[in-house]
Amino acid sequence: MLTPPNGRRKGILERIARRVMKKRSFLPDFSSTALNELEKMQQVDWGAESPMKDLRQLLWASIDNDDSLDLDQLTAAETLSDKTVKILVAVADVDVLVKKNSAIDEHARQNTTSVYTAGKTFPMLPEKLSTDLTSLNCHEDRSAMVVEMVIGDAEEMHSSDIYRALVRNHAKLVYNSVGAWLEGKGPTPEAVAVVPGLAGNRHIQDRVAQQLKALRHDHGALDLQTLEARPVFAGEEIQELRVDEWNRAKEIIEDFMIAANGVTARFLHGKKVPSLRRMVRSPKRWGRIVEIAAQHNSRLPAEPDSMALASFLVAQKAALAGSPMSYSREELVGLARHCTEKEDNDCAT
């Protein structure tokens, strides 16, 4: 096996990422003007005089990866007296510190997202903001944009609203441990157990998320779960590719954010504020999809039908369950190293 100069595999991946970002018109670094703005920013002391709605008493908690430092969303639930549940999603309120048309705002507008690569994460916002001043960190009072949804026992949404509020993260939870607990495969996470009432609140959220998921699929939503793997490094060396497994904790965040996105779109439409939306249209090559289904002994209707397609995909997923992967973990790691070496040689030339 070839060894890159000085064995700097992670450094090679970062250089590749920087090259690709610039090629795609992303900004890998913050300007000196943006960094100067950042130096002047300080944490807001909300005190008792804040005009915002105070929701710090709710059982807010974050769920994220074990190594995440930028906590951008919290969730909470309230059971109401009329068999409805209020679901609340809090999103980090960056606007409270980052002013419109500032250098930091222009950087965020250009990139529109944090860019996650194997060699380095290029945050949309400077880390002082994304992991500290505006991050919804545990046991810290923060301003947030809250999406409130009142959902009935038949999964229909009775009402919704969006407003700014003060929130407080009572527990930093991790996807894998919470997912295992909710699925009955692991113990109650310590971070859940030490907060009175949090376990019951998470179970309510899990139940509502599963109901929302079932409703989406009843209306023809497709389950297009993909295989995601990230390299694990020891220093600069790639040690393995770790597959991120899907679980019930991740589904809570996914289904609540889908619902919150719908509320936000309707809110902006009602205020006559223009916004970008992703429209899912009928497949242009439905005939080809029908042919592929026929090859797997399944029959789809001649006209596009999302529910029929969803049923076909579910059946195929069940048929493939337990099938061995085409490549072993060792082969995948070797492939990643080979691609790293090839790209580094390309960079050198």
**pTM of the predicted protein model:** 0.80
Residue 102 scores a pLDDT above 80: yes
Q: What are phi and psi of 46, to 5 degrees?
A: -75, -35
CA nearest neighbour of 238 among 67, 5, 4, 10: 10
pLDDT tens digits, 139-150: 999 999 999 999
CA nearest neighbour of 229 among 327, 330, 332: 332
How many angstroms separate the CA atoms of 127 and 70, rounded? 8
Q: Is the distance from CB of 229 to CB of 88 less than 8 angstroms? A: no
Confidence class for position 321, pLDDT limits 50, 70, 90: low
What value does the mean pLDDT take over residues 141-169? 92
What value does the mean pLDDT take over residues 8-28? 89
Residue 281 scores a pLDDT above 80: no
Q: Is the distance from CB of 181 to CB of 189 less than 8 angstroms? A: yes
Q: Is the distance from CB of 53 to CB of 145 less than 8 angstroms? A: no
Q: What are phi and psi of 238, to 5 degrees?
A: -70, 125
Q: What value, to the nearest 5°, has the Cα angle with vertex 292 and ends 286 and 295? A: 145
CA nearest neighbour of 130 among 153, 109, 104: 104
Number of domains making up the chain: 1
Residue 132 scores a pLDDT above 50: yes
Q: For 214-223, 267-276, 282-291, which range has the lowest pLDDT when averaged over its residues?
A: 214-223
Residue 124 scores a pLDDT above 50: yes
Domain that residue 189 falls in: 5-348
Rank 17-31, 270-284, 321-335 by mean pLDDT and report only the highest.
17-31
